[in-house]
Chains A and B, each alone.
Chain A
Amino acid sequence: MEMKNNNKTKNRLIAPFLIFAFLLNSCSLDIDETDSLITKGESGVFNGVPNPAGSLSNIYNDITGQAGDQAGLYALTEVSTDELLVPTRGTDWGDNGIWRTVHVHTFGPTHNFVTQVWNDKNGAVLRCTEVIDPLSNATVAQVAEAKFARAYNMWIVMDFWGQVPFRNPKDGPDVTPSVLTRQEAYTLIVQDLTDAIVGLPAGVPAATNKLRPVKATARLLLAKVKLNSIVYNGAYGSTDLDDVISLVTSIEGEGYGLVGGNYFNLFKGPTYTNIDVIWNVSAGAGNRMWNSLHYNQSHPDNTGGGWNGFSTLAEFYDKFQGPAASNSIGGGQEERRGYTHTLATTNATNLGFGFGFQFGQMYGMSGVAPVALKDRTGKPLIFTKEFAESGLIGNNETTGARLLKYSPANGGFTEGVVMARFADAHLMRAEAILRKGNAGSALIEVNKLRALRANTPPLASLNEAAMLDERGRELYTEGWRRNDMIRFGVFKAARQFKPAGDGHTDIFPIPASAILSNPGLNQNPGY
């Protein structure tokens, strides 16, 4: 009895002691590295990226992903020009007006694509800066690749918005990024590219694809930046145009050059071994084809057919030589305008898919037999060059010609989108010569390229307007049109379904969310 009481007393005392022992010995609340490595602690101390190669892979994978998209970057650079229009077709492609506003230049600071590209490209700049930072201990080659990528991404920010926020990797999230002016950003981009040229490999890569930059890639971008110096700095610097010419000549010296033969084979993946392509990404070309083709144009790899959106304008079609009323195969049109198939030429290999401008009756295969296709309501599928009255809304399924640089004739989802070609470099050199006042020499250069394209007679003379048209014919839907039209001063001009503007749209609005997050940014004029 007495012993039992004693035990009870001990228990009375032990229980609270145990509890207090627990209270005092409270556990750590730090998370473990079971899922990911903690690369930057709460203090914001930046210790370098742990794996520069892995970070670079991600940086280039992002460029690939963004290049494969039809929205965002591609829409802003192409749908805003005379090359493309995404008309609303009944209930299709209304998408709250997001495509229409790009074409008519009524985009505002909340436009989804404007915000998306701003976030994508600025974020990429910081990731490149982190790899470049000495704390990351990246190799010389890795730093060069990072500098190229930073220059490419920052150039897009500078070209689109005219202001470039910049963040040091050491800065915490409470630090508001500084804002570089267009000229400051220009200087940094030129410096990055100059450094990259030193560190990048020479020659044409042995690999079948050109996914990472070489000296030629950086030179091409530097030439591009300098050729646009007149836009960024108000006037060309004394050596800018000569630099463009010598940079392109250096690219040639690395082993790149113009390539003739079948023009559309230049855009046929999945490998790009020809010496015209300087840079390509591994993104699938599916978006570029199916965003344009009709629902009833299908392919074994894409039985659901196209999405019936992106179309081109008749006024752009008219820049090419050949019969106006038809782009049928064998009509004598210039090679780069492409062709559409006829019932006779549709076969199991091409499945009725042509190249370039597509309008008129479309064909496909029904089992082993070629057939004239119908639209969803059962009427013949005849694309018209013209749109509904307003162009933007009230269209049916068949208005508007379609533009195929990549074609399902080469596979439904072929890999590879071309980012940069020597033909572009060649025309930039010709343009620099022209801008230096030597139209005769420039014409010879332009005709060198035209001579490689079938049914494309030499031009008799060359002026700025002709130069811009030639760039359009050679480089359509390759992502340069907006940049070219601004340089030639016609981006703001009136065109089909777009009235003339005051030029403020040469620079995009700073996204509303960016202005909220950084008081150093000022909204661009006109928005």
Chain B
Amino acid sequence: MTNLYLFVRRYLTVLLVFATLVSFAQQTVSGKVTGADDGSGIPGVNILEKGTVNGTVSDAGGNYRINVGANATLVFSFVGYASQEVSVGSQNSISVSLEPDVTSLSEVVVVGYGTVKMSDATGAVAAVRSEDFNGGVISSPEQLIQGKTAGVQITSTSGAPGAGVNLRIRGTSSIRSNNNPLFVVDGVPLAGGDTPAAANVGYGSSQDSNPLNFLNPSDIESMSILKDASATAIYGSRGANGVVLITTKSGKGQKGTLEFASSLSVASAAKRFDLLNASEFLDGVTQFGGDRVAQNFGAQTDWQDYILRTSISNKQNLSYSKSFKTGSLRASFGYEDQQGIVKNSSLQRLTGRINGNKSFLDNKLKFDLASTFSNVKREDPAIGNAGFQGDLLGAAYSANPTWPTDPDFNTGGQRSPANMLAYYRSTGSNNRLLNNLSATYKITGALSAKATYGLDYSVAETNTVASGKAINGGNGVQGFGQAQLNENRSLNNLVELTLNYNKTVGKVQIDAVGGYSFQSFNNRSFFASGRGFTDFVNFDNMQTELRNSYEAGNSAAEGNFSGTINNWGISNDLRSGAQTSGGFVSGYDAGSGAFSQQYFARPAGVSLAAVGANFFNTTDFLQSYFGRSNFTISGKYLITATLRVDGSSKFGSNNRYGVFPSGAFAWKMHDEDFMPELFSTFKLRAGFGLVGNQDGLGYGEFIRRDRYANANVGDARQIDVPGVATQGSVNPTLKWEQTSQFSAGIDFGILGDKLSGSLDYYVKNTTDLLLRANAAQPAVATQIFTNLDATVENKGWELALSYSAIDKPDASLTFSGNVSHNTNLLKDFGGALDAGTINGQGLSLAYAQRLAGGYPLFSYHLREFQGFDATGQPIGDNQTFVGKSALPTWNMGFSINARYKAFDLATYFSGQFGQYIYNNTANAFFTAGSINNARNVTRNVLTAGEAGSAEAAVSTRFLEKGDFLRMQNFTIGYNVPMKGQNFIKKLRFYGNGQNLFLITSYTGLDPEVSSAPASFDLLNGLPTAGIDYAAYPRPRTFTIGLNATF
């Protein structure tokens, strides 16, 4: 201790003396650095004496002081601002005002575990900042950047509020798993936290909601998209589908600013089907030999009108932002109420967010906190996967237009949309807290350490209720009622430690980061279902009765069992058990390894005829070591090397750890003498890397686990007392799906970056594809997860261009666009698996796609439709590959941004080309067989020449080109000129239109669609794409809004 103290004292003394000596020969300059945008001081600006290593940084107020040699030039640089050089001359005081940097190539982008100047990036990285985000009604952050970046295909699965979004970066590489990228919010990789989908109470289950719904789009500062393996390798096993980094806004400006934003939107369906009206329908029935008198129920109902509405949505945001001497703070509060254009669909989001940071010890120690709390409430109508019967939309398309809209009208067999709207309710609520607390300590000027703790906790609940007045719903519902309560609690904990090292040694600038990360993902969930309600009509009473019966049943079950409970059930009709009525509870004792099942008497508080509950509690872990080094040599040669080692609890010990390396190189050729002056920017990039994917792989699949099979309440309010069933399949050889990617590109700018852009080429190969395949029987599980010996290849190119035609203080005009081409191919696969589940009456087990080697994923395998024969029967009954796929080969986005004095205008077009859509809606509903069965159809069916007795088998008759070009977004704004020191500093009014027009030859409602069947309905566990089965109609939305800054 003493020795150390003496050593340090001596060392420091020498250093101080040396520094003092050096300073004697120099001139002192001081001043203040401010931002041209708000005039406040900017802390942390790098001030460097040009050509030397002598430099300093500005303090919290933007003030600086530096000693410089004679004839010095100072370079002021700070992320997000254009660098400025000032010749010192004899000045002792130099204050500068830095202009915010808006040219894309000098932007600073967030990459994993750090930031990089766009001009220094070696990988394929794109960033979209808040000022470029799409406007209007945005329910999920991905929609903010739809069409904005090359090679990124963003498709809403439907027009429902809060619907899922499919985001594909450089094609589709997995055959089974979720192909969405990894989302990282302020450094916390997200996992799960979705609201449970509506349960099946006779109407099918709904699609999962979007997991990013919890974020208020207004809180987002920027989104970075890491596209190639050299950029995503820092996320190793989760980087295969690309990574989207979301950075939220933080406090800015010395004077506190209060911002208020408010908008009001009106939406209606952009397109409807051309269905027969009442008299045309009766004529149609007659044409096909039906009895028009028997089918005439007297009313004239437009069922599309009946279920659709003009929806009104509003959004309010309030935020306060301020930077202090040693920190900054931003707090925001947002409320949004989105109505869907189908009745009974809505999304309400309440969010609160605090971002703050505070420095101590002369800025050596800095704490950052980013915290979001959100409550998202949803209501969904009976829309989703209802198999052959169809959902609310299907019911509306095929409903007899002479039926009255009385919900209690009994159609005699078909489902009435009025009955479905009135007697089904699904509501969900999700409370979510996302917290990220970090401490950064600057150990030396070059070395800093950072510790991060991230917490993502969500409690989500969905209540699905079918009233006992539901007619033609599920079996055993009428007169009894059925309801289900699903609850998910997910807790995702992240601990991360990183070391950053920045040093310039001679001509080499080193920027390195290394770290350790441990993340745990706990999911605790249960579902409780009940039938036989005391009051089977009132939704609220039913929901309460299920909750009360669940609570009473649960406490009785817990009282009769010590250990982990898998399930319990209470019914007057227990089957296959040791008792025929009352309650049972099943579970195990982890200590002794014993399973047991206990019986108990029906508890007093259980008023339902039958109630059962099943419990799940799983935790997965991911432990990682990672490092990345950037070397910049002579300012123009850039080398990046990245390595991540991930260990996952989803694999057996032999394959638990995966190693994911990457390397990339960039050359700023514009700094070379031989490059013509024309190029203000010309940078070559090339990189290669390996990344992994473990998504879609369930819990504990490599090991064999046992638990009691689910206790389900049956149609007759009975419960089959469950036995012990095997869960995992023993596959210790299971390993990561692996994607290797080669990527090369050019970033260029000419005429001072007036025209700038980038061109990229990539080849991606995904191997060891995770698939749930049939096991070699006899096997404990019918299907086991395996790594398929095949390769999915995606290759393509991307071009992004931006042209600043006018750039003047009171006028500007920018055109930007991107286009990308991708080809997808499955190689080296010997088998053939049916996929592309088709639904509808008479279409059970029908499929439209097949997975086979030599074809792209989602390739259609259909009967070639050759018209109808003389008797009206379709010709052709042999399914073959038809050479078409659901994957688009071309994606494009185009935008124009203009500003003239106080007015601004922005418009956006997006398009996808080359993909084919299977019109399952027409296949299931709009055929002669439907009108022959007295179901309503579109007008064209009457003249198609099809016999009423014809089978509507899957065929190319329903396959259509999906090419489209959409005017996605149009905004016009007016900034009220503010003079002097007004209370209001900025005020802007705007109008926005979304989905204003669509150019397509597709005859369905919208070609941008993907109806995902329930997971148990997926043939061979393979996902579908490009199939349109009664998709939620896409709205056309008009918004007016104002933004005010105080």
Contact for A394 among B590, B720, B873, CB less than 8 A: B873
A211 vs B720: C-alpha distance when bound (angstroms): 12
CB neighbours (8 Å) of B473 from chain A are: 304
Indicate if B28 sits at the interface (CB-CB under 8 A): no
A27/B593 in contact, CB under 8 A: no
A36/B475 in contact, CB under 8 A: no
Nearest A residue to B776 via CB reads A517
A124 vs B779: C-alpha distance when bound (angstroms): 8
Q: Which of A1-53 contact B (CB under 8 A)?
A: 2, 5-6, 8-9, 11-12, 15-16, 18-19, 22-23, 26-27, 29-44, 49-51, 53
Indicate if B534 sits at the interface (CB-CB under 8 A): no
B476/A413 in contact, CB under 8 A: yes
A177/B778 in contact, CB under 8 A: yes
CB neighbours (8 Å) of A172 from chain B are: 730, 732
CB neighbours (8 Å) of A262 from chain B are: none
Within the complex, what minimum Cβ distance (angstroms) separates A324 from chain B? 26
A58 vs B949: C-alpha distance when bound (angstroms): 43
Number of B residues near A (Cβ < 8 Å) is 130
Indicate if A483 sits at the interface (CB-CB under 8 A): no
A12 vs B291: C-alpha distance when bound (angstroms): 90
Indicate if B290 sits at the interface (CB-CB under 8 A): yes
Indicate if A261 sits at the interface (CB-CB under 8 A): no
B843/A96 in contact, CB under 8 A: yes
Contact for B950 among A6, A30, A90, CB less than 8 A: A90
Indicate if A514 sits at the interface (CB-CB under 8 A): yes
Q: Which of A497-527 contact B (CB under 8 A)?
A: 511-514, 516-518
Within the complex, what minimum Cβ distance (angstroms) separates A211 from chain B? 6
Indicate if B478 sits at the interface (CB-CB under 8 A): yes
A40 vs B930: C-alpha distance when bound (angstroms): 52
A9 vs B3: C-alpha distance when bound (angstroms): 13
B718/A415 in contact, CB under 8 A: yes
Indicate if A441 sits at the interface (CB-CB under 8 A): no
CB neighbours (8 Å) of B934 from chain A are: 376-378
CB neighbours (8 Å) of B597 from chain A are: 54
A301/B476 in contact, CB under 8 A: yes
B705/A37 in contact, CB under 8 A: yes
CB neighbours (8 Å) of B724 from chain A are: 49-51, 54-55, 57-58
A394/B779 in contact, CB under 8 A: no
- Bitwise, B706-720 to A at CB < 8 A (1) or not (0) is 111100001110101
Q: Which of A401-439 contact B (CB under 8 A)?
A: 413, 415
CB neighbours (8 Å) of B707 from chain A are: 35-37
Could you pull out 10 A-B pairs where Cβ atoms are within 8 angstroms? A16-B499, A51-B596, A61-B720, A64-B720, A95-B843, A118-B777, A122-B779, A286-B475, A376-B934, A377-B288
Q: Which of B733-751 contact A (CB under 8 A)?
A: 733
Nearest B residue to A40 via CB reads B704
Q: Which of B772-786 contact A (CB under 8 A)?
A: 773-782, 784
CB neighbours (8 Å) of A90 from chain B are: 842, 928-929, 932-933, 948-951
A95 vs B716: C-alpha distance when bound (angstroms): 28
Segment at the B interface, from A76-84, A229-237, A292-300, A329-337: A292-300
Given A23-B516, A35-B707, A42-B703, CB of A173 within 8 Å of CB of B730: yes
Which applies to chain B's interface (DSSP): helix, strand, loop or mixed?
A: loop
Segment at the A interface, from B31-39, B343-351, B648-656: B648-656
Nearest A residue to B389 via CB reads A304
Indicate if A302 sits at the interface (CB-CB under 8 A): yes
B444/A176 in contact, CB under 8 A: no
A124 vs B843: C-alpha distance when bound (angstroms): 29
CB neighbours (8 Å) of B730 from chain A are: 40, 42, 44, 172-173
Indicate if B76 sits at the interface (CB-CB under 8 A): no
B706/A413 in contact, CB under 8 A: no
Segment at the A interface, from B4-12, B95-103, B374-382, B676-684: B4-12
Contact for A123 among B471, B472, B727, B780, CB less than 8 A: B780
A284/B714 in contact, CB under 8 A: yes
A90 vs B703: C-alpha distance when bound (angstroms): 48
Segment at the A interface, from B220-228, B605-613, B615-623, B985-993: B615-623
Within the complex, what minimum Cβ distance (angstroms) separates A93 from chain B? 5
CB neighbours (8 Å) of A177 from chain B are: 776-778
Indicate if B413 sits at the interface (CB-CB under 8 A): yes
- Bitwise, B842-878 to A at CB < 8 A (1) or not (0) is 1111110000000000000000000000010100010
Indicate if B588 sits at the interface (CB-CB under 8 A): yes
B705/A51 in contact, CB under 8 A: no
- Bitwise, B429-455 to A at CB < 8 A (1) or not (0) is 000000000000101100001000000
- Bitwise, B873-898 to A at CB < 8 A (1) or not (0) is 10001000000000000000000000
A122 vs B285: C-alpha distance when bound (angstroms): 49
Given A11-B441, A16-B443, A91-B951, CB of A376 within 8 Å of CB of B933: yes
Contact for A94 among B410, B654, B715, B953, CB less than 8 A: B953
CB neighbours (8 Å) of A61 from chain B are: 576, 709, 720, 722-723
CB neighbours (8 Å) of B841 from chain A are: 91-92
Given A303-B471, A376-B934, CB of A59 within 8 Å of CB of B653: no
Within the complex, what minimum Cβ distance (angstroms) separates B18 from chain A? 16
A38 vs B781: C-alpha distance when bound (angstroms): 15
B952/A91 in contact, CB under 8 A: yes
Nearest A residue to B848 via CB reads A96
A112/B288 in contact, CB under 8 A: no
Given A19-B497, A165-B778, CB of A173 within 8 Å of CB of B784: yes
Indicate if B1046 sits at the interface (CB-CB under 8 A): no
Number of A residues near B (Cβ < 8 Å) is 109
CB neighbours (8 Å) of B722 from chain A are: 57-58, 61
Contact for A302 among B8, B475, B576, B728, CB less than 8 A: B475
Nearest B residue to A166 via CB reads B778
A123/B844 in contact, CB under 8 A: no
Indicate if B947 sits at the interface (CB-CB under 8 A): yes
A90 vs B776: C-alpha distance when bound (angstroms): 39
A303/B294 in contact, CB under 8 A: no
CB neighbours (8 Å) of B846 from chain A are: 94-96
A277 vs B404: C-alpha distance when bound (angstroms): 49
Indicate if A56 sits at the interface (CB-CB under 8 A): yes
Interface centre among A8, A33, A57, A166 (most CB of B within 10 A): A57
Interface centre among A18, A39, A388, A512 (most CB of B within 10 A): A39
- Kindly list 7 other residue pairs between chains A and B, CB separation below 8 angstroms, not including A35-B699, A88-B951, A90-B928: A16-B499, A30-B649, A34-B618, A40-B730, A50-B588, A54-B586, A173-B776
A58/B291 in contact, CB under 8 A: no
A513/B773 in contact, CB under 8 A: yes
CB neighbours (8 Å) of B720 from chain A are: 61, 64, 282
CB neighbours (8 Å) of A517 from chain B are: 773-777
CB neighbours (8 Å) of B471 from chain A are: 303
Contact for B413 among A36, A176, A376, CB less than 8 A: A376
Within the complex, what minimum Cβ distance (angstroms) separates B798 from chain A? 37
B619/A32 in contact, CB under 8 A: yes
A126/B778 in contact, CB under 8 A: yes
CB neighbours (8 Å) of A397 from chain B are: 933
CB neighbours (8 Å) of B209 from chain A are: none
Indicate if A60 sits at the interface (CB-CB under 8 A): yes
CB neighbours (8 Å) of A49 from chain B are: 706, 724
B778/A122 in contact, CB under 8 A: yes
Indicate if B363 sits at the interface (CB-CB under 8 A): no
Return the 3 tightest CB-CB contacts between A and B, nearest first: A378-B294, A57-B723, A378-B291
A37 vs B595: C-alpha distance when bound (angstroms): 9
Given A12-B444, A88-B951, A377-B295, CB of A303 within 8 Å of CB of B779: no
